[in-house]
Amino acid sequence: MAEAERKLNNGNSRIDFQTDPSKYRHWKLAVDGEVATLLMDVDEKGTLFEGYELKLNSYDLGVDIELADAIERLRFEHPQVKVILLRSGKPRVFCAGANIRMLAGATHAHKVNFCKFTNETRNGIEDASEVSGLFTICVINGTAAGGGYELALATDHIMLVDDGSSAVSLPELPLLAVLPGTGGLTRVTDKRKVRRDRADVFCTTEEGIKGRRAVDWRLVDEVVPSSRLEEAVAKRAREFTARSSRPAAGKGIALTPLKRERSADAVEYSTLSVEFERASRRATITLRGPEAPPPASAEAMVDAGAQFWPLRLVRELDDAILDIRANEFDTAAIIFKSSGDPAQVLAYDQFLEANKKHWLAREIRAFWKRVLKRVDLTSRSLVALVELGSCFAGTLAELVFASDRSYMLIGQRDGDNKPPASLVLAEVNFGAYPMPNGLSRLASRFLADAGALEKANRPIGEMLEAETAENLGLVTFALDDIDWEDEIRVFLEERASFSSDALTGLEANLRFGGPETMESKIFARLSAWQNWIFQRANAVGEEGALKRYGTGQKPAFDTRRV
């Protein structure tokens, strides 16, 4: 099965995160004025890999790629939509969760990346509610088990049909010897605020909880008899619609397909390029600044649609990061470079700030926030090189602060007439793009020194050269031309020589200092434990629970507590 798992069912050699509603196999999206319905109707044969079937609305990564796309399209293409009804298209089952055969046969890397992407997708549902006023109501008919209930947990309001059989459950521990991998434990305690003892009962009960007890234990918001379900759903939709800040008559924009040219060792987009040096295990992402100034008005921004530079760049950066995550497992380091005019980058930041009350400007900023978080959560060493002619300013400077190391070139290079390396701060660097810990990247950098953060705030808009940036603590090292090549070469070779497992743990711990939030718990504490548990024989060994599920054989556990 492990070999079959690596064979994509669509015949391609890579997982592609780009799709659109005309290609959906698992979701039906319908928009009726201010209310959209997302119907989960999973095609059993529509698997991403060969070797399993998606029965009972169970899902794999392909199902979640469609869900993420649908949420993004509702945010950009249908700004008038204020409420999403999340429902099942199958009788007596809402969603059986992640497909067990898929998990049992998947490589460890695929399991971990699958859980990470599904977590990010559920966070995106919550972000749509918090930032955009796009609320989601989950209507559960039948069973919502494991990842199915975790999907419901990401919504604003959970309605459970009171028919004597519909139930919610997190049965991963008793059935599969793993944890709810999509934030289930954390959302039960931190979001739903279920009592610890009741949560313990719930998470060790295979059949789950139904009816009035599910409400009393805060696992759902209400139970509704089948005879009154549609009436109750319509009423809740009206209530949430009245609370939304989404525009009643906003003109949406089409998220047109990305243009990518792929060769053996590179991918070329319209605003960035990715180059792979596979022998040295590196991927270099070079972002290109805008070629023209921002439009004159918000209306012109809408007319530009998906070609508006900040939106085009963030969509392409998102695709590039996901492609490396899912398809380039041997890449040890991602190197960020940039080229362009920093003043033009700042002009777009200023334009978005001036129009921050416009729905599209708000959505673009929110998209950047989500993609920068995806960078934070990517298990590769992140390196920023601020060189001659770079444009790490404002929003793009966030990639420097997201990196594990950053190097900046002092002065000029012989024979190179590009502008000196510079770093430019803007207001957006001080709170517009919080990390999973709730802090800006600069605030996370200066946890022990509020004075340093205040000092960094003073030169907003100034072109900071290398030694000034180093003195302010904005880059790790400023190097002259003599040391540049050797210092960076030695660092990257050293990085590639370390244990990939140890580096993943090191970086994930060091990136999220400061306060703990529900989001940082999900990606740090919970994901770290799940990552470990997914490698234990009790779960994935030949006699483990994942391998023996459905065979009639009980798993054989190593009973020693570790």
- For 286, the 3-state DSSP assignment is strand
Q: Backbone phi, then psi, for 157, in 5-degree steps?
A: -150, 130
Q: Is residue 144 part of a domain?
A: yes
C-alpha distance from residue 46 to each of 55, 149, 434, 478 (Å): 10, 22, 36, 51
| Residue indicated by tokens 């008919």 | 141
Judgement on whether residues 75 and 42 belong to the same structural domain of the protein: yes
Token pair recorded at residue 146? 């494991």
Query: Measuring CA to CA, how many Å separate 45 from each of 147, 294, 303?
Result: 19, 46, 40
pLDDT of the residue at 502: 92
Residue ending a domain, among 466, 484, 511, is 511
Identify whether 127 is part of a domain.
yes
| Residue at 233 is within a domain | yes
286-290, 332-336, 368-372, 501-505: lowest mean pLDDT where?
501-505
Q: How far is CA 466 from CA 335, 401, 409, in A?
A: 18, 15, 6
Q: Which of 243, 272, 295 is the last residue of a domain?
A: 243
Same domain, 207 and 322: no
- Is 77 tagged catalytic? no
In a domain, 399, yes or no: yes
At 4, is the pLDDT very low, low, confident or very high (cuts 50, 70, 90)? very low
Tell me which residue range forms the domain holding 198. Answer: 2-243
Do 437 and 300 sit in the same domain of this protein?
A: yes
373, 489: one domain: yes
pLDDT at residue 53 in the model: 97
Q: Which of 472, 488, 511 corresponds to the end of one domain?
A: 511
Continuous segment of H or E residues that includes residue 528: helix 527-533
Say if residue 296 is in the same domain as residue 429: yes
Instruction: Give the pLDDT confidence score for residue 421 in this predicted structure.
Output: 96
**pLDDT tens across 154-185, in order?**
999 999 999 999 999 999 999 999 999 889 99
Tokens 């992402």 correspond to 285
Are 185 and 273 in the same domain?
A: no
> In DSSP terms, which residues pair with 381 in a beta bridge?
333
Write out the two tokens for 398. 């966030």
Catalytic residue among 5, 66, 150, 519: 150
Tell me the pLDDT tens digit for each residue of 224-243.
Answer: 999 999 999 999 999 999 99
Q: Are residues 229 and 271 in the same domain?
A: no
Please indicate, yes or no, whether residues 212 and 287 belong to a single structural domain of this protein.
no
Are 196 and 269 members of one domain?
no
Same domain flag for 199 and 270? no
Active-site residue (options: 172, 363, 398, 470): 172
Give me the CATH number covering residue 396: 3.90.226.10
| 154: in domain | yes
Tell me whether residue 525 is in a domain.
no
Residues 265 and 238 in one domain: no
Active site residue 72: no
454: its two tokens: 């205040």
Same domain, 383 and 272: yes
Q: Is the pLDDT of residue 9 over 90?
A: no
Structural domain total, the chain: 2
In 3-state terms the chain splits into helix, strand, coil percentages (rounded to 5) of: 45, 15, 40
